[in-house]
Amino acid sequence: MDVLRQLKAFYFPERKYLIASIFFLMCATALGLVYPNLLRYLIDDVVRPKNFELVPQLALIVVSVISFKALNQFLHGFFGGRLGNRVAYRLRNALYDKLQTLSFQYYDKAKTGDLMSRLTADLEAIRNFIGFGFAQILNMVLMVAFGGAMMLSIHWQLTLITLITIPVLAFLAVRFEKRIHPAFREMRQAMSNLTTAVQENITGVRTVKSFAREKHEVTKFSVRNEAYQKNQIGAASLWAKFFPAMELTANMSAVILLIAGGMMVINNSLQLGEFVAFFSLIWYIIGPMWGLGFHINNYTQFKASGERVLGLLNEHIHVKSADKAIVLSPEDVKGHVRFEHVTFNYPDKSAALTDINIDAPAGSVIGLLGATGAGKSTIIQLLMRAYNVKQGTISLDGVDIRQIDVESLRRQIAPVFQETFLFSASIRDNIAYGVRDVTQEEIEYAAQLAKAHDFIMELPLGYDTVVGERGMGLSGGQKQRIAIARALIKNPRILILDDATSAVDMETEHEIQAGFKELMAGRTTFIIAHRISSLRHADEIIVLDKGHIVQRGTHAELIAMPGPYRETYNIQYADFPAGDKNTANVTDINERRRSIVQ
């Protein structure tokens, strides 16, 4: 019931459909109760007194009742369907909205397959129950109440004798519910594990095939498949025991009625017509009891699914805008970024950054260098408020970013990540992703700056080329260049290049950077790179090691002092004679490399 209460916001606005669906079902049920009475009338008032002239009239009434009942059943289905689908629609939208607001911290642990199964299979179970199951349970209660009342009005003693098995039926049903609910919960989880395995396998199919791990994947899948099968078999055997037990108990009522009622008819304390009507009415009570298992099944599936859907809806949002957060107006943002004594650790991990201080005046270029895992990307993640800083402060133009509306903060920043994600859409749409109302000229200009225009034009459909899921069909460097164009078109105050040119050759990287210079004049840029050539023009280069800043300064300053920067430089420029190193530029290096290869 708690699940039902918590989902109220989704079905309550559709209550007119709920009421209509219940009303028509009740009408259909009430009309069903006319049959036993017609039967009683037919036997006691028509057949026995031989009033056969009433038969056509009676037949006409039966046809009308049947037709009217069918119409009511249709309307119940119609409104029930509307209700279920509208509730599912609302829930689907709410879940999708929630997925957009959940923070990076949630996605660090989330499993795509599990989320997909919540949005599909679990929603389906909710749709079924809210649309039909709920009305049917109510109908069941009404059938029992109406049928019982009618039986009591005919012969109360016989009613009590006949319905002696009802408490047993109710007991069996409740016991069954207690055991089947955990089974369903496990089944839903097992299903989500299966979906996760399939989803990961399809996403990582290239890795699987390259490492010839198909057999391992098949085994991994069969283990989960077996777990799911076991859950299904467990639930099926519970059903297998429940149904015969229910049927046996329910039929006992019919047997008791035949004995007790038959004796009453023989003793003339009950009319034959009443006895036949009674026999017909008893199914009004036994029938729903029989269906109790089905309804319980429906309800428990709904409950298990509802818990999973609510679990997602109630998920904590780690990063959200404060009340009365400042909404930045782009024309006023200058882009002065400061990190002051920032120390940060990911949940359940040791510090990824310790006492970080950075002052990036508006328009400056900050280079970040360091071994893998040194904390470079974490600095960027914190600036974008992917995670909340608990120790120290990060400010933009003197305002703590925790006081700035998250969306408006992120609108000022355009990141290009090491791993490029492209949507399965046209190249044009991928480039224009972060902006609204953009012209083809602007798209092409950004692509030219990112050195992507030429290769796009060589594709048969040019900017209309639809890239496969995650950019399949393009090379790593081509994907990166599209991602750079996507960032540039946003015209941001702060540009972040997180190893953004790692997949393009040095010459292209140099050309792209020349384009940046033109566009980024007056904007703050953070460049994370492993190549010194990408950073050497930065206003300040920060060298990180295990989350600590170990060196900082300009290229010239850092090269002049012993330390990790000079070591990296020496390794990367090892091909050059000592005198050339300081003057070598990217083109020189490429030419030198080419001559070595030749």
Ligand X SMILES: Nc1ncnc2c1ncn2[C@@H]1O[C@H](COP(=O)(O)OP(=O)(O)OP(=O)(O)O)[C@@H](O)[C@H]1O
Name the residues that contact ligand X, by CB under 6 A. Answer: 108, 346, 349, 352, 370, 372-378
Which residue in 161, 232, 134 sits closest to 191, CA to CA? 232
Integer Cα distance of 392 and 355 in angstroms: 8
> Nearer to ligand X by C-beta: 187 or 374?
374
155 to each of 19, 66, 143, 252, how far by Cα in Å?
A: 33, 27, 18, 19
Closest approach of Cβ 544 to ligand X, in Å? 7
Closest approach of Cβ 417 to ligand X, in Å? 10
Closest approach of Cβ 346 to ligand X, in Å? 3
Closest approach of Cβ 490 to ligand X, in Å? 22
Closest approach of Cβ 105 to ligand X, in Å? 8
Which residue in 357, 333, 380 sits closest to 529, CA to CA? 380
Kindly provide the b/e burial profile for residues 437-473, where b requires at least 16 CB atoms within 10 angstroms of the residue's own CB: ebeeebbbbbbebbbbbebbeeeeeebeeebeeebee
Q: Which two tokens stand for residue 201?
A: 């396998």
| Backbone phi and psi for residue 422, each to the nearest 5 degrees, phi listed first | -115, 145
Closest approach of Cβ 378 to ligand X, in Å? 3
> Nearer to ligand X by C-beta: 377 or 480?
377
Integer Cα distance of 227 and 244 in angstroms: 27
Neighbours of 343 (CB within 10 A): 15
Neighbours of 182 (CB within 10 A): 12
Closest approach of Cβ 99 to ligand X, in Å? 18
Q: Is 128 left (phi over 0), alpha (psi -120 to 50) or beta?
A: alpha
**List of long-range contacts for 325-329, beta carbons under 8 Å, 24+ apart:** 325/403, 325/404, 325/405, 325/406, 326/399, 326/403, 326/404, 326/405, 326/408, 327/404, 327/405, 327/408, 328/396, 328/404, 328/405, 328/408, 328/409, 328/411, 328/412
Q: Which two tokens stand for residue 431?
A: 């480039």
Integer Cα distance of 70 and 72 in angstroms: 5
> Nearer to ligand X by C-beta: 20 or 374?
374
> Nearer to ligand X by C-beta: 453 or 479?
479
Closest approach of Cβ 352 to ligand X, in Å? 4
Find tokens 């009005």 and name the residue.
153
Q: How many residues does the chain have?
A: 598
Closest approach of Cβ 316 to ligand X, in Å? 16
| Lateral strand order in the sheet of 365-370 | 413-416, 494-498, 524-528, 365-370, 540-545, 548-553
Closest approach of Cβ 320 to ligand X, in Å? 18
Integer Cα distance of 56 and 51 in angstroms: 11
Give me the amino acid identity at 484.
I
Asked whether 228 and 194 are in contact (CB, 8 A), the reply is: yes
> Nearer to ligand X by C-beta: 88 or 529?
529
Closest approach of Cβ 298 to ligand X, in Å? 40
> Nearer to ligand X by C-beta: 97 or 108?
108
* 359 membership: H or E segment, kind and range: strand 351-360
